[in-house]
Amino acid sequence: MIEDLRLAIFTALARTGRMPSPETLREIAGDQLPDALRALAAARHLALENGTVALAHPFATRTFGFSVMSHDTLWWGGCAWDAFAIPHLVGTDALVATRCPTCDAALAWVVDRTAPPTGPAVAHFLVPLARMWDDVIHTCENQRLYCSAACIPDGPGTTLDLATLWRLASHWYDGRLERGYTRRDATAAKEYFRSVGLAGEFWGL
């Protein structure tokens, strides 16, 4: 039942940008719904806020600062990584839009699966990999895109150019819309990060 619930949530979010109706969720999980959602959160398939789904990565159910718009669907992206991942996961090109958190400049890119967008914008991630799930909502809230390196705040974190962000996002969520999806273990995750050109302590490499 838990996998049915996970799949129903991810399928609806991918197809419509919205959660399944409460009735649909209750049809699947019945009285077990709160426990089943907690189990999915514990297994890091999603993140809850007050018992409801806030994030089912890469999808969000409220704004995290990123809209992702295809020709017929509008999604909330959970962060810079997630917003760039949605076009890859659902298999469409889309307009990813946000504001520079520092200077409020409007930023937008058409993200498709053929090549990374170009330009001076950079992503900044605050929380290192090893701590990303300590408070994943805080983590995603602090994975943003800035108009340029000059707007990135001083302090901890790592910076990615658009091409690296796009490669990171391109296959990270592969399989998530299929039954029986399992998350990468630590070794496979590190291998993936290395393959997209990441390095350093932030990524545990």
Cβ 182 to Zn ion shortest distance, Å: 19
Query: Residue 158: beta bridge partners?
Result: 125
Write out the E strands in 57-186: 59-60, 66-69, 74-77, 94-99, 106-111, 122-125, 143-146, 158-161
- CA-to-CA distance for 65 and 8, rounded, in angstroms? 25
User: Which structure tokens are listed for 42?
Assistant: 């514990």
Cβ 70 to Zn ion shortest distance, Å: 19
14: left (phi over 0), alpha (psi -120 to 50) or beta: alpha
Q: Give the 3-state secondary structure of residue 4.
A: helix
Q: How distant, in Å, are the alpha carbons of 89, 137, 170 from that of 194?
A: 20, 25, 14
**Nearer CB in complex with Zn ion: 20/82:** 82
Cβ 79 to Zn ion shortest distance, Å: 3
**Nearer CB in complex with Zn ion: 32/148:** 148
**Nearer CB in complex with Zn ion: 29/172:** 172
First to last CA, the chain: 37
Cβ 132 to Zn ion shortest distance, Å: 8
Q: Identify the burial level of 62 via C-beta atoms within 10 angstroms of its C-beta, where 0-12 means exposed, 13-18 middle and 19 or more buried.
A: exposed
Cβ 158 to Zn ion shortest distance, Å: 14
**Nearer CB in complex with Zn ion: 36/66:** 66
Residues in touch with Zn ion (CB under 5 A):
78-79, 82, 100, 102-103, 105, 140, 147, 151
Cβ 92 to Zn ion shortest distance, Å: 19
**Nearer CB in complex with Zn ion: 23/154:** 154
**Nearer CB in complex with Zn ion: 28/142:** 142
